[in-house]
Each structure stands twice: as C-alpha cells, then as structure tokens.
Amino acid sequence: MTVTGIDHASLIVVDDVYADFERARAAALSRAFTPRTDSAFAYRTAPAPRWMEEEAIGRICEVLGPGSRAELIANHLHMSTAMDWKVNLHRGARIHIDEARWAGVLYLNTAEQCRGGTSLYAHRRTGVRHFSELRGRPDAQEILADGGDITRWQELLSLAMVPNRLVLFDPGQFHQAQEYFGDSKATARLIHNFFFRHVPAHFDPGREKTATDRAPADGSP
C-alpha cells in the first residue's frame, strides 16, 4: 500500500489497496446492482462482499485512524455507464458537494478501461471551493445550481483513475467524476464508495439530507 497526501486539498491517495485486485473486481461484478432512485444522479449500487468491506476499511483506518470505522455512514459498490453520464448532463447533475467529512472512491476498473478520474473545482464568479463558504451567502443556491454548467467552474486538481487506487478527500469541496463510460456491467465505471462522518450543510437549514442522498465522489464521486 502506497499513501500520498496532498494537504492543501484535503486529499489522500492510497494505491494498491486490495491485496488481490482481480479477486475484488470479480467479486464486485458478481453482485446484483440496482438503480438509485433517491439521487439527482443516475447510477447503480450494490452491497460489497463483507471481506471487501473489511479489507478496504482496514486500509482506510490505517490512514485516517482507527476511529474512522465508527464514523462510516455509507459503503457500497457504485456502477455508472456512458448512458448514465448523458442522463446526468441532461439533468444538470455534475459538479456537487457531499455532506461528509471524508469520501472514499476506490477504482475497480482494469487499466485498459480506466479514463478520467476525480476533479476538484472553484466557482469562477465567486471563488467558492467548499460548502462551508456558502454559509450566510444569499447566492448559495445559485452557486449550487451552477454545478450543471462546467463553464462556470475552474478545475483546481485532477486525480487519475488507476486500478486499485483509493482517493480520500473532503467531499465538501466541489467535485465531480470526470467521466462515466461503458455500456454493460463488464465495461462500466466501477468503484467502491465510502463516506465518513455526516457534516450538515448549514447554509440551507431547511435541508435534512445526508451524504447518502447526494451523488458519490466521483463521484463519485
């Protein structure tokens, strides 16, 4: 396992997470995926086998600390196709935030399939990078709505999609998966997704959603 920290972006990259990556990918592909109906984003999820959960969360705890296990609020396999990407573009579902302290995106595609990755952004007009900066702003909802228009954002950082790589980051930063791809279970974008510690977005007290109601870091997250 190789760990690379990028402090200024609250981002950590962990390579070679699963001891047997081929086994992990095969196990993920054997699961039954169902579409999410409670999200603005189009994708499918499935529960990960227990051994995959334990191995990945064990690696995460080595990096974030043993207390992270108790803070886990979401943990699932996430599959998304090129058609899902088109649906999301039509819905204006792209750059977003998630209400958690840490998100984990563990890539499960082969090297030949991998493309894009995960990017972080700043809002061009305001410079806003994190949902904490929206508190007290009268234009908070306008900034969130701009997430569907990529031209209104400046890319700050991009992490490549690499097999068996885990990207841990603060999902309160505006972010998106760069691309969904494939047209079947065997060729679609496939990740193991995690969220740790719910952090409410206080800029909109009327909302009562959690990180699991939004898209993963991507990606989704």
Write down the pLDDT at residue 98. 94
All domains of the chain, ordered by start, with CATH?
A: 2-213 (2.60.120.620)
Write down the pLDDT at residue 205. 42
Write down the pLDDT at residue 210. 38
- Do 26 and 77 meet the contact criterion of CB atoms below 8 Å apart? no
219: its two tokens: 């990606």
Task: Name the one residue in this structure whose structure tokens are 């998630």.
Answer: 98
Write down the pLDDT at residue 221. 64
The tens digit of pLDDT for each residue in 144-168 reads: 999 999 999 999 999 999 999 999 9
Q: In this model, does residue 207 exceed pLDDT 90?
A: no
Residues 221 and 202: their CA atoms lie apart, in Å, by: 22
pLDDT, mean of residues 29-35:
98
Neighbours of 142 (CB within 10 A): 12
| Category of 112 on φ-ψ map: left (φ > 0), alpha (ψ -120 to 50) or beta | alpha
The tens digit of pLDDT for each residue in 96-149 reads: 999 999 999 999 999 999 998 999 999 999 999 999 999 889 999 999 999 999
Q: In this model, does residue 1 exceed pLDDT 60?
A: no
Write down the pLDDT at residue 124. 98
Tell me the helices (H) and strands (E) count for the chain, helix number first. 4, 11
Write down the pLDDT at residue 89. 92
pTM of the full structure: 0.88
Considering the chain, what is the average pLDDT of its residues?
89
29: its two tokens: 């592909």
The per-residue DSSP string of 110-179 comes to: -TTT---EEEEEEETTT---BGGGGTT-TTHHHHHHGGG-GGGEEEEEEEE--TT-EEEE-TTB-EEES-
Residues 70 and 66: their CA atoms lie apart, in Å, by: 8
Q: In this model, does residue 92 exceed pLDDT 80?
A: yes
Write down the pLDDT at residue 76. 97
